[in-house]
Amino acid sequence: MKISLFALAWIAAGACAATTAHAQASRAGTCDGVQWKDARIAKSCTAVVERNGKKYVQMSGKVIRKNKESITVLLDHSREELTWMPDLGETVLIDGKETPPMSVVIGQQLRFYVPEAQVTTR
C-alpha cells in the first residue's frame, strides 16, 4: 500500500550529521500522543519534534524508486511505501548541504519530517 505526501518539510540524508537547521529541533512529545489521520503514518512515526514553534513527525526509510517527478521511500517501521513529489525549487539536506531532492539515489537512507498538521486530526 502507498502513502502519498506532496509536501515534506525537510529531509536529511547521508550521514545525518547534525546541522544548524537540525540543532534547532527539539523533542515535542511521542508518537503515541498524536491523533493520526492514517494508521499507516502512526506506525511509521519515529519521533515528534518541534522546530521554530511548529511540530513535525519524524519518519525514516530507504529510497526504493525514483523517476523524473517522484521519489518512493520504503518506511522503516511500517514497511509502507511513501511517494514524494518535490516542488520545483525545493531542497533537502544531504551531508549538511542543500541539494535538489532528485539527487538522492536508490538505496539511500533518509530521515524526514512532515508537518504534524498534514498527518493528524487536530
**In this predicted model, what pLDDT tens digit does every residue of 79-103 receive, in sequence order?**
888 888 888 888 887 777 888 889 9
Contacts of 104 (CB under 8 A, 6+ apart): 13, 63, 66, 71, 92, 94, 110
Model confidence at 33, in pLDDT bands (50, 70, 90)?
confident
CA dihedral 17, 52, 38, 94 (to 10 degrees): -30
SS3 18: coil
Model confidence at 15, in pLDDT bands (50, 70, 90)?
very low
Residue of 9, 46, 42, 47 whose CA lies nearest to 27: 47
- What is the pLDDT, as a whole number, of residue 119? 82
Return the C-alpha cell found at 6. 506532496
Task: For 39, list phi and psi in degrees, rounded to 5.
Answer: -60, -25
Delimit the domains of the chain by residue range.
Answer: 2-119
Q: Greater confidence, 86 or 66?
A: 66
**In this predicted model, what pLDDT tens digit does every residue of 39-65 receive, in sequence order?**
878 888 988 988 888 888 888 899 999
**Alpha-carbon span 14 to 43, nearest angstrom:** 23
Contact 57, 119 (CB under 8 A): yes
